[in-house]
Each structure stands twice: as C-alpha cells, then as structure tokens.
Structure 1
Amino acid sequence: MAGRRVSFVCWALCLGLLWYGSLAQLDFEQRRPSVRGGHRRFRDQSECRLRELQAQEPAHRVESEAGVSEYWDADDQQFDCAGVAAVRHTVQPRGLVLPEFSNSPRLVYIVQGSGITAAVVPGCPETFHSVEQPQRERREERPGQQQASRSSDQHQKIRRFRQGDILALPAGVTHWCYNDGDTPVVAVTVFDTSSYSNQLDRNPRKFFLAGSQRREGWQQERQTEREEKAGGNIFSGFDDGLLAEAFGVSREVVRKLKTADDKRGTIVRVERGLEVVGPRRGREEEEKEERRREGEEERRREDNGLEETLCNARLRENIGDPVKADFYSREGGHIATLNSQKLPVLRLLQLSAEKGRLRRNAILAPHWNINAHSVIYCTRGAARIQIVGAGQRALYDGEIRRGQILIVPQGHAVVKQAKDEEFEWVSFKTNDNAMVSPLAGQTSVFRAIPEDVLANAYRFSREEARRLKFNRDHETLLLRPLSQERRASA
C-alpha cells in the first residue's frame, strides 16, 4: 500500500511539473519576439486607452542651412499608443542630409522631388569605385604631374529615389541623401520605436555622424542643460588624441570631425554639387536592373551570409504610380500596397505601407486593421474621417488635410470620404504583412455571414439583411459615391 502511495505521489508530482512546464513554455512563446508577428514590445494597456484622436501638425521645426526638419510630438498619446514617431524633411536643391542612424527601423515616403541616397551596411563591400581623377582636380594638375597622383574613390551602392518611392531603412544603418534635382525634396519618415530592433527606451533617437544634434526636434523637450551645452555629433565626447590615433589623422582633422563650431545644421548646402561614383543610367534601366538582382536573390534563397542578404537587398519601391494599384475603381480611386512579399527587406523592419487616392466624394469602405497600427499622412486634398472603438462615441470625427498625420490604432474601425476634391494619402503600418477587414463591399465581413445570422443579430428582415450584404456587391474597398436617387432608395 505504501509503495502505491509513493508511486501515486511521484506520478502526481511529475504531472504537475509537466503542466507547469507547459504553461511556462506557452508563456515564453507568447512573450518572445518572433520573425513574424511578435516584433513589437509589450506595453502597459493604459497607454492605449485613447479617449480621442486628433489630426496632427508637426510640433517642432528645426531649420538648417539647406532645409527644414519638422517633428511630430512623439509624446502625444496616439503616437505613444502606436509606438511610432514621425518627421518631415524638406531638402533644397544641392542639399545634403548628413549621415546619421537611428535606434528604430523606419520607412521614408518621397512626397516630391528626386535625388540619390545610400544605406551604409557594415560588412558589405564597396561595389562602386573609380580609378580616375575627378575633372576638377584634373584641371588643377601641373604640367608633367605623374599619373600615379590621381585620386580614386570607392563606396557602397548609391540608389536613386523619386516621387512616390518608399525607402526601407533598418535600425542602426547609416543613411544619407542628396537632392540633385531642381525642386525641393519633401520626405516623410515614420520610425517604429516599439520594434524589438530598438533595445533602448521608446524615445525616438537619431545619431548624427556629422553636424549637430543640439536642437533636433524630439530632444528639445527632453534635453538636460548639460546635453544642451554639449551638442555636436557622436564624435563630440571622444578625446582628440584618442580619435587622432584611432583614425591615423591629425588633431586638426579630428576637430573638424567633431564639427563643434559648425552652425549649418543637419542639412547642408553643397555649393558646387556633389561628386560621387555612380552609373549614368535612366530610371527605367535602374529599376530593371534592381528587379533582375532581386530575381537572382529569390532563386538563391539560401542565406549564406550578409553579402547575399542585406547587402544586395532592394531597399526602394515606388508605390506612387497608379499602374501598380492593387485595388482600382474608375469612380472610386485606387490603392497600392507594399508588404514584405513585394519588398522582402520589410520582413526585417516589420513595417509596410499603402498609397491611395479617393476620387471626389468617394468612400474608403469602413474597415479595421487586423494586425497593425496605421499612420496616415495626407499628401493631397482633404477627407472626412471617422474612427471608432468599442464605445458609442467616435474617437475622431473630422477632417484630415494635406501635411497632417492621423493614427488609427489596431482594431479600431475607420471610414474615409474624400471632400470636393481628390484625396491622396500614404499609410505606414506596423506589420510587414498588414491586413484589413472591410465591413462593406464584396470582400466584407457581412458578405461572409449568413442572412439569418444578420437578421437575428440586428433584428433585420430578410430583405434588409440581403441589402446589407449585396448592395455593394460589385465593389471592394473603394466605394463610388451614390447618386441622390440611389442614396434615397438605399
């Protein structure tokens, strides 16, 4: 009998340990970051108890020699809930945005203009190089000067960008860009500060390799007096002698590296134009070459190192061209989506985007974002937007106009209607394969629910339930405006 009791106790203890281990494993699986879907840090639920939403203008403006940076308030409750931050840069012709990196992955949308840019990834080879002397130096050569004195340059790949492009920038990767066009470049950037790539706190940060961070917009309210006096870039705090030895240069070069007395800001003017090594090809040829390289990378899907992945990855895709629309309605408008299936590097960033246009008075069907927050930036026109949660009162019922940002939290239903002119927007989403669930149209929730379920749920007649399901039967997300007669009959 005693032996049976001992066996029973052992069996119960083992069962208890197994049950506890299963719970622990389940808890671990729920909490750990994953490559897909579990990329955002857990936050206190009170941070997303939103009472109202607002269409936001930038809160801080920082002027530089050749441009302006406008920062939205990252401490605002809706930005804090979504775990994002945003900035808009305006770069004048021949303006250079100085090299910098961030603690968060980001997407950049080019509202207007064109230029060149680069993302500098450690460990990747310098695939652009020149063995010839620049023309300017060649003109300054003295007669009889030997060929061996000619300078050369080499650097990582440079990419062109234009209006409608999305640029994908991983966390910690150095980035710079230059406006080589005749019109200002306007670019809106959204940072995912809640990404697991960000191992600091959720405050957005940019670390400049040149220029000064003294008055960068997000730090204005957070900087201490000591930080305000320090200013400068990431080299400013190092000892001059140590840097001189590390780089093998003079102390005078180190002092210039720190740029302590440089008042130009973080966007500087290149008086004679920027000279870099790069092929002189048309836009179409460049895009064709990038797609060819992407095809080779897909066929070579095995990950054999950094050079075969991020070094050769496409970091740019244009979503401004209506030809690339995923949803199109002649009377409603069009929407182009960009996710990691189209731009694989977005798997690393865990971000996606969409670009849309609504024609006059057209409606974007009521829907909610299944697995992402959505950051809407208006690029043209105006629209009425309503956002609702679980309560009876709308969290937002108003307009969004050009240059404003409005955030739609995950699971909150939203509807958009263009005003008396066309409405255009770009949305940044916090999932690399963001999905929406429409409430009206051919692919809607109601279309998939039986009539009798709807009739009993809402006390409808069968005819009313049928109309709810099929009145927009031949439309999807983009709903054309109804005529007065049809609106009255409906």
Structure 2
Amino acid sequence: MASSASLLCFSLLSLFLLQSCVAQIEQMPLFRSGHDQQQRKQQQRWQTDCRLDRLNALQPSRRVQSEAGVSEYWDLESDNQLQCAGVSAVRHTIQNRGLLLPFFSNAPVIFYVIQGRGFHGAVIPGCPETFEESGFQQSQRSQEQHQKVREICEGDIVAAPAGVAQWVYNNGDSPLVLVSFTDVGNQANQLDLNTRRFHIGGNPLKDQRSEQEMRQQSQSQSRRRRSESASERRNPNGNIFSGFDVGLLAESFKIDNKLASRLQNQNDRRERIVRVREDLHIVSPGRIQEEERRHEYRRGSYDEEEYRRRSNGGEYMMTNGLEETFCTLRMRHNIDRPSQADIFNPRGGRVTTVNNFNLPILRFLRLTAERGVLYKNAMMAPHFNLNSHSVFYVTRGSGRCQIVDDFGRTVFDGEVQEGQLLVVPQNYAVAKQASNRGFEWIAIKTNDNAMRNPLAGRISAIRALPEDLLSNAFRISREQARNLKNNREEVTVFSTQSSQQGRKY
C-alpha cells in the first residue's frame, strides 16, 4: 500500500514537472521556431546573379553628417559583390553624449565596437520592463521603467534579430565607433534585397534621400520596371510616425494633437545621431560594482572563470542556450579577449570565432562572427569557407589578400587597409598576410556555424591526403609530397621568415 502511494506521488510530481516544462517552452517561441526550422528544409538565401570575377576592397559609398556624429554606408545596392553576399554595412562615429536614435531593420544585425564605450538598448516585443528606478514614495505610473540596457565597450559584438528596435548612446569621453553588418540575404527578411531601416524617432531626411538616390541608380542600371522606379521617387518623409494621421496618433497614445505632432519631428534637422543636452538618464546597474569586480580580479581575489560568471550577472557566459528565454537572450559578447582565442600562435597572432555555441542567439540569426589579429608580417593559411560568405572589415593595420575562384583565377590581389571592406564568397580560396603594421579585422559569416577549411598547416586538407596521391596529382616525388604535407606544423596562423627580416609586396 505504501509503495502504491509512493508510485502515485511520483507520477503526479512527474506530470507537474512535465506541464511546467511545456509551459516554459510555449513562452519561448523563438527557440521553438528555430527547432522547427532545423527539422524542415532550410529556406534559401536571396539568389542574385553574382559577378565575382573581379573583387575590390571597398570604401563607404556615401557619408551622412548628423548633429552628433557621422554615418558611413557600404550600400548593398552600390556593389555587386555585396549583393551576392547579401550583406550591407555602416560605420557610425558617435560623439560624446551622442545618441543613435531607435531604429529597426528588415534583417538581422551584428555590430562590433571598434573604440569607445556606451550603452545599447534593444526593444524585444512582449517582454517586460525589467529595469526600474527604486523609490517607495513614487507611484508605478511616475516610476521610470524600461527594458534591459547593456553597457558596451571596445571589442564587444552585439547581435539583434530582424525587427528588434535598438539604440546606442555614447557616455564616454572619446568617440564611440562601431561597424554594423545587416544580413539582408537572411531568411528572416521577407521583403526585397534592400537594407530597409525603419526609424522610430528623429527625422533622417538627408540620410533617406541619399539612400533613395542610391536605390534609383541601382534600379536604373538593372533596368527594372518603371512602376518600381516611380514608387521609389516619392519623397522621404522621416520616421515611421510621419506617415500617420496626427489625430490617429493622438488617439492611439491617448495624448493631445500637439504632442502627437511632435512625434513626427517634421522640423528636426539633426538626422540619425543627436546630441543629448544633459547626460542621458537611464536605469542601469551601477558602474561601481563592475569596477570593484575588475579590481578584485586584478588583485587575484578570484580567477578568470569566476570573473566571467560575476560579470554576466551570476551566469556563466559559456552556456548551452537552454536556460535563455526569449526575453533574456544574451545579445553581447566580447570577442577581443586573447584568453578566449580559438587559434593562437605567439609568433603569428590569433583567431577568435563566435557562433551559435558561445552566443546562442546567433543560432536564430544564422550568423557567425570572426575576429582576426595577425602580428607583424604573419599570415593566415590559404583556406576557404565551406558553408558561408564572409564579409570582413579591417579594424587596424593593413595586409595583403589574395582570393582565387573556382577557375583558378586570381579575382583579388592587393592591399586592404584600415576602414575598408572586402567580400570573400563561399568556397573561394583566400590567403592573408599582415604588413609591418600588423593586420586586424572583424568578419561576419552568413551561417550560424560557419566552417573554415585550411589548405596548409597541421590540420589542412593537403595534410589529410595520402602522399602517393599528392605525388601523382602534382607530379612530384614522394619525398617532396611528404615535405608538402609535413613542413608546416603550425595551425592556420603562421609565422614567416619575413617576420624577422621585414617584408615587401
């Protein structure tokens, strides 16, 4: 009898836990849909007629000055290699107390902080305002509340899904510089192959007009239908509230018409980056606690693993993603920490990859980020990306790159300098060598688990082939084949003789 009661109790407990798990899963539609998508046949990326017989290192195609900063764009419409990759980019330079106004786009976005520090906010639909001011005398109506705000600094990457509004504020003493990539070819984009930014505030007319002109030129060159070009010739109107009737806005927000008209910012000429007259008042965890943690870490009060745990709000940064609900997704990751490099050569440099394993949100954005640092004259082994395009931006120094297509033709052979962008198409072989100034880059790859196959080095494709096969393929002796396979013992990042002798190219 006692055993029957115990069995009944155990069954009821199991049923309760099962229902709790189901309820939790139902609150995470993003994870559920991601799992379903993996079970189904993957939707293809936007397909275009790629002309990739000649690649170029790209400078920004347009530049827009704002009140408190500058935005420089690599428009997808302006270059065929960007169209093929389905990725556009923009570099924002935000001055002290500069605020990049809230916007959202039709595709996933990843940005990298080149220098400076500040705050980043993202508005995730349906999630509560978990940051609020403390105060017993304040009513809930007058108490400040908003969604989570995260501090960002040099070396951080921040990822945001399509349609998630985000903003950036510079609270530091130096300019905050970030480069942002938009994966327009992503399956989350249900519109056309254009980067479409929807502005929640401000009146970025100059920005929109220059973007409109770029699209019109692209449409004229591609000889699209007149009706499409005519629709694009309509004058820009500012933020998304500008297209609504003032009375409708007043009724929606339950405000008067005068205040509703202010939402449209018709006479605002500050563009996308505006200056905050006084320091921006937001609710955020105190910086003092972070400084205390850093001080304790430097003194050796606790090790790096403990520091990472405390710096992430008590949670370890290396997670499997199951504990992250839709509203608590971790969007930020510092990719610059040398201790977290995947490949490190003390004489050559390092490569760090962030993908769906160490930043689970990338699983749903289907993107990978790569940070490369080559020391003076070092090189990265010739390699190719198995399952993704790669778009990289040079953050410091310069280097020589060679890219080879499927016909064995050199489609790019030249120097890529700081501030330039270069596209490496899927399966195209690429080699990089740093100049005397070193070579650093940030790359975005169009797969959440992008894979790279080196052609030289200890774990290369050549190393995996039989000696006799290499001997017959290249008409060399077996001794030469053995040397070809085994002479380079380093992995991916190589030191070179010119590292000590200096180099010319």
**Cα distance in 2 for residues equivalent to 1:120 and 1:363:** 41
The share of aligned pairs that are identical, in percent, is 48
- CA 1:242 to 1:471, structure 2 compared with 1: closer, same or farther past 3 Å? same
Displacement of 1:49 after TM fit?
3.4
Partner of 1:218: 211
**Cα distance in 1 for residues equivalent to 2:376 and 2:448:** 30
Alignment counterpart, residue 282 of structure 1, candidates 290, 294, 301: 290
- CA 1:484 to 1:147, structure 2 compared with 1: closer, same or farther past 3 Å? closer
- CA 1:485 to 1:62, structure 2 compared with 1: closer, same or farther past 3 Å? closer
Q: Which amino acid aligns with 2:84?
A: C
Say whether residues 1:466 and 2:457 are aligned partners: no
Q: Which amino acid aligns with 2:164?
A: V
Displacement of 1:54 after TM fit?
0.2
- CA 1:104 to 1:485, structure 2 compared with 1: closer, same or farther past 3 Å? closer
Alignment counterpart, residue 469 of structure 2, candidates 438, 453, 477: 453
**Cα distance in 2 for residues equivalent to 1:355 and 1:255:** 45
Partner of 2:192: 201
1:319-359 Cα shifts (integer Å, max 9, x gaps): 11222211111111111111110000001110111111111
Alignment counterpart, residue 428 of structure 1, candidates 444, 453, 456: 444
- When the two chains are superposed, the root-mean-square deviation of aligned CA atoms in Å is 2.7
Alignment counterpart, residue 174 of structure 1, candidates 165, 179, 183: 165
SS state at 2:249 partner: helix
SS state at 2:442 partner: strand
Partner of 1:233: 239
- Asked whether the equivalents of residues 237 and 243 of structure 2 are also in contact (C-alpha less than 8 Å), the reply is no
Displacement of 1:225 after TM fit?
8.8
Displacement of 1:232 after TM fit?
1.1
- CA 1:37 to 1:187, structure 2 compared with 1: closer, same or farther past 3 Å? farther
Partner of 1:16: none
**Cα distance in 2 for residues equivalent to 1:269 and 1:227:** 31
Alignment counterpart, residue 69 of structure 1, candidates 62, 66, 71: 71
User: Structure 1 residues 187-196 or 212-221, which shifts more?
Assistant: 212-221
- CA 1:484 to 1:205, structure 2 compared with 1: closer, same or farther past 3 Å? closer
Displacement of 1:294 after TM fit?
5.0
- Asked whether the equivalents of residues 372 and 442 of structure 2 are also in contact (C-alpha less than 8 Å), the reply is yes
From the CA coordinates, give the structure whose radius of gyration is larger. Answer: 1
- CA 1:331 to 1:241, structure 2 compared with 1: closer, same or farther past 3 Å? same
**Cα distance in 1 for residues equivalent to 2:357 and 2:319:** 11
**Cα distance in 1 for residues equivalent to 2:369 and 2:459:** 21
- Asked whether the equivalents of residues 290 and 311 of structure 2 are also in contact (C-alpha less than 8 Å), the reply is no
1:121-175 Cα shifts (integer Å, max 9, x gaps): 0111110111449xxxxxxxxxxxx977994210111100000000001000010
1:80-99 equivalences under 5 Å are 80-99=83-102
Q: Which amino acid aligns with 2:93?
A: T
1:297-331 Cα shifts (integer Å, max 9, x gaps): 958837xxxxx522111100001122221111111
Q: Which amino acid aligns with 2:159?
A: A
Partner of 2:5: none
Unaligned runs of 5+ in 1: 1-31, 134-145, 303-307
Partner of 1:18: none
How many corresponding residue pairs? 436
**Cα distance in 2 for residues equivalent to 1:348 and 1:323:** 26
- Asked whether the equivalents of residues 214 and 228 of structure 1 are also in contact (C-alpha less than 8 Å), the reply is no
Given the two structures, how large is their TM-score scaled by the length of structure 2?
0.81
- CA 1:177 to 1:120, structure 2 compared with 1: closer, same or farther past 3 Å? same
Q: Which amino acid aligns with 2:212?
A: Q
Partner of 2:351: 335
SS state at 1:476 partner: coil
Displacement of 1:222 after TM fit?
2.7
Say whether residues 1:357 and 2:373 are aligned partners: yes
- Asked whether the equivalents of residues 130 and 153 of structure 1 are also in contact (C-alpha less than 8 Å), the reply is yes
- CA 1:452 to 1:466, structure 2 compared with 1: closer, same or farther past 3 Å? same
Alignment counterpart, residue 318 of structure 1, candidates 327, 330, 334: 334
Alignment counterpart, residue 497 of structure 2, candidates 482, 485, 490: 482
Unaligned runs of 5+ in 2: 1-35, 217-229, 295-306
- CA 1:311 to 1:35, structure 2 compared with 1: closer, same or farther past 3 Å? farther
- CA 1:89 to 1:148, structure 2 compared with 1: closer, same or farther past 3 Å? closer
Alignment counterpart, residue 375 of structure 1, candidates 371, 374, 391: 391
Displacement of 1:295 after TM fit?
4.9
- Asked whether the equivalents of residues 310 and 345 of structure 1 are also in contact (C-alpha less than 8 Å), the reply is no
User: Structure 1 residues 239-248 or 390-399, which shifts more?
Assistant: 390-399
Given the two structures, how large is their TM-score scaled by the length of structure 1?
0.83
- CA 1:208 to 1:412, structure 2 compared with 1: closer, same or farther past 3 Å? same
1:364-411 Cα shifts (integer Å, max 9, x gaps): 000000011011100111100000012243000001000000000000
Partner of 2:47: 43
**Cα distance in 1 for residues equivalent to 2:399 and 2:189:** 34
1:12-31 equivalences under 5 Å are none
Q: Which amino acid aligns with 1:249?
A: I
Say whether residues 1:52 and 2:54 are aligned partners: yes
SS state at 1:168 partner: strand
Q: Which amino acid aligns with 1:482?
A: Q
